[in-house]
Amino acid sequence: MFAAAGVSSSLGRALLLVGIIGSLFGAIAAISSARSRDQAVARLIPRFAILIFAAAIGAFATMEYAMITRDFSMAYVQKVGSTATPALYNFAAVWSALEGSILMWVLILAGYTLAVCFWLRKKMDDVLANWAMGVMFIVSTFFFLLSFGPANPFAKGAPGVFDGPGPNPLLQNHILVLFHPPLLYLGYVGVTVPFAFAIGALVTGRVGEGWLLATRRWTLFAWGFLTFGIILGSWWSYEVLGWSGVWAWDPVENASLLPWITATAYIHSVLVQERRGMLRVWNLSLLVSTFSLTILGTFLTRSGVLNSVHAFSESAIGPWLLVFFGIIVIVSIGLIGWRGDRLHAPGSIDSVVSREGAFLINNVLFAVFAFVVLLGTVFPLVIEALQSRNIVVGAPFFDRLVAPIGIALLTLMAIAPVLPWRKASAELLSTRLFWPAWCGIGALGISVVVGATGFMPLLTFALGGFASGSALRQVVLATRKQGLRGLVGRTNGGMIVHVGVILIAVALAASNSFTHSQELFLKTGTPAYFSGHSFELIKIVEETTDRAISVKAMISIDGGQAYAPAITKFTKVGMNIGTPSVKTGVRGDIYLTLEPPVKQDSGEAHIKVFIKPLLVWLWIGGFLMALGTLLAAFPGRRRKPTDATSALIGSNDE
């Protein structure tokens, strides 16, 4: 067993070394092929891509094998493996800590490199394609190096260890842990692809529109998975963490949100470049920012710098990521500055009240949004470094500053879909916005009747109604003209995504403003009442497995089905995890948690009840976003070259 164990470790490291060499030579091949136009060298590129993918899969498989066979000679398995963890959670334990998640990054990046290579297989003589592959290989080299060196998952552990604590108990509670990190990484790592093409375009000077259109689906794919990953993370937070919320503005969440913000700005702004060749500097900057923010985010969350700014220099991985981040930013800014003359737009924006104007305002709003989130995350660090004192920038800061930005974005979402290119007249706008505006009034009226209070939430609901009206108007018009085909394509898919975003905004506004909670002390047989519902303790149940003892309180809500919030004590780690239980409903969720201490045989339970209005609409909105992204990926109505690109001014198009 030990002989085999040593082999596992060495095999893994050897494969990573192959990966380093493969991606290094791949980068050299790609860049030299770009400069010399040598076709023989260009033909080597796919071989290197296959090689590094094989190496990455091999290394990951070796890690999984070690984890599944509980090979405790490896330090990483000692850290997160355990004989008591069930198979599925054990499989997911590989990416539950730093080294394994960097290994997963390597795997996904190698996969994307191979996929892009395959997609470019007929265009390997194109200089831009070569440069893009070169960038992908360079980034792969970095991550292979990271995994071989400072974040080494194959390091040998202390001898004589035969069991481990398993992954953090919070990660053994819910099956989502199997999906959330890989899906998030598919998005997070995926933004490397448009970045590579952006660098390629800058280096070759071909900053026109061709490569943008070509990489549209790659960007949408990465953005879609990033969105989905973030929403899954919120769902996990809701189902597992027990505070009944979905987003706490903590640094790890912010790290995943920052690239999402700039990527969203990009997928909108790129439409202006496609249609009118403008905003090139914006688009390139947004792509560069998106990728840089993924590296910065990883640095912030993995280097320990947020615990204490001094921890950063003690961590192995921090300096590497910081230097890489610096290199990316300096090189990208240098390239943009160098190519500045070619980025000057041939056209110009004629009027503020036009789709170009709206998208430009959109870019500025998203940029401020990203700035606020980045500032809030980084500010405590800076203060600690400069003044050696600890401050906290928490949720109220972000909520207070992001709320008005959100309102502005909702307003744009309402108006922009009906705006034509170039210029809009007041007449045109009032025709097209008429019914959506009444939808907004309707939504406002319903909210007031139902009893909502507070200016901000009501404004959110009103604008939400307005914006849904605009989005649905577009979809209705398209389906009238083309039947079911009207649901497919970039615009229509995008409108469905918008509806999803609006539902999420409404659900967040409702649950942030109108959540009520109460602590109840229940005795079996005596129901307690809160917010129009009755809660009765039926019994307390204890379940023991070899890794945990869980105590559940069966609570019947309104005399119906029993819900069982629990407290689970993971015996090996000595950690107590509370597990909430949720009754979902269209109008709101009833969220139950069990509070310690629980005395099994006393027939008493101390629970906390949260009433969360409209929360389920968050998940419905997320589902619509996923659906809309899928629909947007399909080609829409084929545009004839002689079609007018925008509505003639003054015409009614009902």
Length of the chain as a residue count: 654
| CB 217, min distance to other proteins, A | 28
DSSP 419: P
Q: Is 438 in the site for other proteins (CB under 8 A)?
A: yes
CB 627 within 8 A of CB 496: yes
Write out the binding residues for other proteins, residues 361-420 only, by CB under 8 A: 361, 364-365, 367-368, 371-372, 375-376, 378-397, 401
| CB 331, min distance to other proteins, A | 11
Write out the binding residues for other proteins, residues 264-323 only, by CB under 8 A: 281, 285, 305-307, 309-310, 312-313, 322
Q: Is 652 in the site for other proteins (CB under 8 A)?
A: yes
Write out the binding residues for other proteins, residues 214-243 only, by CB under 8 A: 241-243
Q: Which of 108, 132, 220, 360 binds other proteins (CB under 8 A)?
A: 360
- Which residue, 605 or 631, has its beta carbon nearer to other proteins? 605
Write out the binding residues for other proteins, residues 187-216 only, by CB under 8 A: none
Taking CA atoms, 201 is separated from 211, 283, 407, in Å, by: 8, 12, 35
Amino acid at 357: G
Q: Which helix (H) or strand (E) holds 388?
A: none
- Which residue, 152 or 354, has its beta carbon nearer to other proteins? 354
- Which residue, 186 or 261, has its beta carbon nearer to other proteins? 261
| CB 65, min distance to other proteins, A | 32
- Which residue, 167 or 380, has its beta carbon nearer to other proteins? 380
Rounded (10°) angle between helices 616-633 and 490-514: 170
CB 489 within 8 A of CB 631: yes
Amino acid at 609: V
Q: Which of 86, 210, 326, 585 binds other proteins (CB under 8 A)?
A: 326
| CB 121, min distance to other proteins, A | 34
Write out the binding residues for other proteins, residues 559-618 only, by CB under 8 A: 574, 578
| CB 515, min distance to other proteins, A | 8
Q: Is 330 in the site for other proteins (CB under 8 A)?
A: yes
Write out the binding residues for other proteins, residues 147-186 only, by CB under 8 A: none
Q: Which of 214, 316, 329, 403 binds other proteins (CB under 8 A)?
A: 329
> What are the DSSP calls for 635-650, one per residue?
--SPPPTTS-SSPPTT
Write out the binding residues for other proteins, residues 445-464 only, by CB under 8 A: 445, 447-448, 452-455, 458-459, 462
Of the candidate spans 35-43, 269-277, 341-349, 542-550, the one that interacts with other proteins by CB under 8 A turns out to be 341-349
| CB 278, min distance to other proteins, A | 10
Q: Is 357 in the site for other proteins (CB under 8 A)?
A: yes
SS3 88: helix
Instruction: Give me the 2-41 binding string for other proteins, x by CB under 8 A, dash otherwise.
Output: ----------------------------------------
| CB 479, min distance to other proteins, A | 19
Tell me how many helices (H) and strands (E) the chain has: 20, 10
Rounded (10°) angle between helices 180-190 and 192-204: 10
Chain centroid to CA 7:
37
| CB 641, min distance to other proteins, A | 23
| First CA to last CA distance, the chain | 75
The phi, psi pair for 457, rounded to 5°, reads -60, -40
SS (H, E, C) 378-414: HHHHHHHHHHCCCCCCCHHHHHHHHHHHHHHHHHHHH
The phi, psi pair for 539, rounded to 5°, reads -165, 170
| CB 8, min distance to other proteins, A | 30
Write out the binding residues for other proteins, residues 462-521 only, by CB under 8 A: 462, 516-519
Q: Is 529 in the site for other proteins (CB under 8 A)?
A: no
Rounded (10°) angle between helices 395-415 and 355-387: 170
- Which residue, 56 or 322, has its beta carbon nearer to other proteins? 322
Q: Is 654 in the site for other proteins (CB under 8 A)?
A: yes
Q: Could you give the CA distance from residue 204 to residue 139 in angstroms, rounded to a whole number?
A: 19
| CB 22, min distance to other proteins, A | 31
SS (H, E, C) 169-191: HHHHCCHHHHCHHHHHHHHHHHC
- Compute the CA torsion angle 173, 178, 184, 190 (nearest 10 deg): 170
Of the candidate spans 138-146, 343-351, 482-490, 491-499, the one that interacts with other proteins by CB under 8 A turns out to be 343-351
- Compute the CA torsion angle 182, 184, 187, 192 (nearest 10 deg): -80
Nearest Cα to Cα of residue 237 among 183, 176, 283: 176
Q: Is 248 in the site for other proteins (CB under 8 A)?
A: yes
| CB 343, min distance to other proteins, A | 6
The half-sphere exposure of 338 on its side-chain side, counting CA atoms within 13 A, is 12
Q: Could you give the CA distance from residue 254 to residue 373 in angstroms, rounded to a whole number?
A: 7
Q: How many chain residues touch other proteins (CB under 8 A)?
A: 94
CB 563 within 8 A of CB 530: no
| CB 453, min distance to other proteins, A | 4
